[in-house]
């Protein structure tokens, strides 16, 4: 027997041969293309089972001497010089493995599949998705990050796309759909280049060069937006662009104004910083979307602890407590034996005295409203009402902090520490009832330090309120980004088309294979305006090519897709703006993820049973 065969890598101990209906015998040769399969038995193998080894054959039918891999991967075994097998990959029969171009194509198709789901949600005419969670909750949204979060993606490359959308959401807050669509388009283009035989690393390098070009070009075509505390119109226009793609676009003007005023109320214009934690977004089912309002203060979803307490307090001095209105409890285990009525009376008087002292303490420092993190029993409630001291109980910790920030008060952990200086001040505290329901909420307005505001959303159902909250969050993030960096580019696909033209023109300067990747990147940038046109019911290829020709002819980078059918392609006239940092982040993040996916050439995953 050929010593080459006995020294071969044996990958399977038993194999069913599919290419021949006959049962193979030891020593039989089966020619398949440029290879020959020899059925043999390893001399040192104890179980004497047949093994198939594949050997390369040259044209003169002499063996090359290099051993090719067998088609079955049930177990990766190799033999040492004594013929003893040893394992290379443990439990390989329970793993799936994809190598080389197959792995890249599988990864690309997974990424493209995720991006196609979001493609129809892009732009002002984008469709919404309805997602049902395992416990039956329904979410209707067209926010890219929310769709991918709730889709429960299982594929690892799909999860990369989810994280891509999430990082855009965390950093910028807007453009979560566009970034995934762009990444999907880049992957589609990369697949075409891989089929031509271009190495994935060269493709990735070309994409990296192109993304730098695109980001620099965006910087060149951007405009500075001058605004001030008195002139907020530019901010409102940009927020309206963000809201136009949401379900709330019929009220986009009023919601954009609310978002901008809320951001300006808490913004530090000197440091160009905005703390969005100071803007509380509350929602209540009922009313209509137009009833949404901005409150320069805090809205708490609680009511007064006693129905006979006053419903409106002007010039309120608020004691913010985290200690309960109840007698102190010993830390150790204790037992009280009461065997006479007198002892019970004494105990009751003692408790009443505790409550009396607590309420009196609050009255003495001049508090006209008590907000307590804990509850208090009926006796304390009754005493508070008789002493004419309104109180609110069971207020959450986050809300307490916001109330303290807004009113300039201090949170007091013990009654002994309560002083006049620690009281918060508010111009008006009122309890408001809604419709015919028993729902009541507490408004704390005209605060001493109005650095905390509340956006109070009304809507027909819970899903509408949740989607409005997400839309308002996007608008708040856009306003914050503009305060940090007031550069804008024009939306409606105008910026992408302009970048595409610039990248295409620069491709000829690169002599290597990279120029193919750079041209592919320019084609991928066209995917966003193409999706916008498609979702708006226009002819995508005709529309995009017409806008591209117009941009080149007029050298006007404001021409975009006329999604709303207003009759003009000029995005300046339509007031469609996007933040520069948001658009740059989209291109950079999408390119990074695509580079990562292209660099994977071997996927080893546990097989599913």
Selected catalytic residue, list 143, 169, 303, 570: 143
Selected catalytic residue, list 169, 474, 562, 570: 474
Instruction: Specify the DSSP class assigned to residue 326.
Output: S
The answer to whether residues 431 and 442 touch, using CB atoms and an 8 Å cutoff, is yes
Alpha-carbon distance of 176 to 229, in angstroms, equals: 29
- Based on the residue annotation, tell me whether 407 is a catalytic residue of this protein: no
- Based on the residue annotation, tell me whether 139 is a catalytic residue of this protein: no
Q: Token match 């050439």: residue? A: 601
- Based on the residue annotation, tell me whether 508 is a catalytic residue of this protein: no
Spell out the SS3 assignment of 440-509. Answer: EEEEEEEECCCCCEEEEEEECCHHHHHHHHHHHHHHHHHHHHHHHCCEEEECCCHHHHHHHHHHHHHHCC
Alpha-carbon distance of 483 to 474, in angstroms, equals: 14
Question: What is the Cα Rg of the chain in Å?
Answer: 35
- Based on the residue annotation, tell me whether 176 is a catalytic residue of this protein: yes
Angstrom CA distances, 274 to 72, 245, 482, 484, 485, stand at 60, 24, 10, 8, 12
Q: Token match 């037992």: residue? A: 335
Instruction: Specify the DSSP class assigned to residue 59.
Output: T
Contact partners, residue 234, CB within 8 Å, separation at least 6: 225, 226, 227, 482, 486
Selected catalytic residue, list 40, 177, 238, 468: 177
Cβ-defined contacts of 590-593 (< 8 Å, 24+): 590/164, 590/179, 590/180, 590/182, 590/183, 590/186, 591/186, 591/207, 591/208, 591/210, 591/211, 593/111, 593/160, 593/161, 593/164, 593/183
Selected catalytic residue, list 141, 176, 368, 468: 176
Structure tokens of 437? 């329901």
Strand partners, 130: 140
Residues acting as catalytic residues:
143, 176-177, 474
């Amino acid at each position: 027997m050929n010593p080459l065969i006995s020294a071969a890598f044996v990958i399977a101990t038993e194999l069913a041969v599919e290419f021949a209906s006959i049962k193979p015998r030891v020593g039989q040769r089966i020619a398949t293309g440029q290879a020959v399969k020899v059925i043999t038995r390893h001399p040192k193998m104890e179980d004497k089972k047949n093994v198939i080894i594949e050997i390369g054959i040259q044209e003169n039918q002499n063996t090359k001497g290099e051993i090719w891999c067998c088609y079955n991967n049930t177990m990766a075994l190799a033999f040492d010089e004594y013929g003893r097998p040893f394992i290379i990959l443990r439990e390989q029969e329970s793993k799936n493995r994809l190598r080389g171009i197959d792995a890249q194509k599988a990864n690309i198709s997974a990424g493209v599949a995720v991006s196609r789901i979001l493609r129809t949600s892009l732009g002002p005419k984008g469709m919404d998705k309805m997602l049902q969670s395992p416990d039956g909750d329904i979410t209707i949204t067209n926010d890219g990050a929310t769709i991918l979060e709730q889709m429960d993606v299982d594929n690892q490359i799909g999860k990369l796309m989810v994280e891509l959308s999430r990082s855009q959401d965390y950093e910028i807050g807007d453009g979560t759909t566009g970034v995934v669509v762009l990444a999907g388009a880049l992957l589609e283009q990369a697949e075409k280049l891989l089929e031509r035989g271009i190495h994935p690393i060269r493709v990735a390098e070309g994409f990296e060069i192109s993304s730098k070009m695109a980001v620099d070009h965006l910087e060149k075509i951007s405009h500075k937006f001058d605004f001030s505390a008195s002139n907020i119109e530019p901010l409102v226009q940009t927020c309206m662009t963000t809201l136009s793609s949401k379900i709330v676009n019929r009220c986009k003007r009023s919601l954009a104004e609310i978002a901008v005023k809320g951001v300006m109320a808490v913004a530090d214009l000197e440091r160009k910083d905005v703390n969005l934690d100071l803007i509380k977004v509350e929602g209540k089912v009922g009313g209509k979307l137009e009833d949404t309002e901005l409150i320069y203060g805090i809205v708490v979803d609680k009511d007064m602890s006693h129905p006979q307490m006053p419903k409106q307090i002007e010039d309120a001095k608020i004691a913010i407590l985290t200690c309960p209105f109840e007698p102190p409890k010993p830390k150790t285990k204790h037992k009280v034996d009461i065997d006479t009525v007198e002892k019970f009376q004494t105990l009751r008087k003692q408790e009443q005295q505790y409550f009396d002292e607590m309420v009196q303490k609050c009255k003495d420092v001049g508090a006209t409203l008590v907000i307590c993190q804990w509850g208090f029993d009926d006796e304390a409630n009754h005493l508070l009402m008789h002493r004419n001291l309104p109180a609110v109980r069971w207020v959450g910790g986050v809300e307490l902090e916001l109330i303290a920030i807004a009113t300039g008060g201090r949170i007091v952990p013990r009654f002994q520490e309560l002083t006049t200086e620690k009281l918060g001040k508010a111009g008006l505290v009122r309890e408001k009832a809604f419709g015919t329901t028993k729902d009541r909420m507490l408004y704390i307005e005209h605060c001493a330090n109005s650095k905390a505001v509340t956006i109070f959303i009304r809507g027909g159902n819970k899903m509408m309120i949740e989607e409005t909250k997400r839309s308002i969050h996007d608008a708040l993030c856009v306003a914050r980004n503009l305060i940090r960096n007031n550069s804008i580019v024009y939306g409606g696909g105008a910026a992408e088309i302009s970048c595409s033209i610039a990248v295409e023109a620069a491709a000829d300067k690169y002599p290597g294979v990279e120029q193919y990747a750079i041209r592919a990147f320019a084609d991928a940038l066209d995917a966003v305006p193409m999706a916008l046109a498609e979702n708006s019911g226009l002819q995508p290829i005709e529309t995009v090519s017409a806008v591209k020709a117009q941009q080149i002819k007029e050298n006007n980078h404001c021409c975009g897709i006329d999604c709303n059918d207003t009759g003009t392609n000029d995005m300046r006239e339509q007031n469609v703006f996007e933040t520069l940092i948001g658009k740059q982040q989209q291109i950079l993040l999408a390119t990074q993820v695509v580079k990562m996916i292209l660099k994977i050439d071997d996927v080893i995953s546990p097989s599913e049973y």
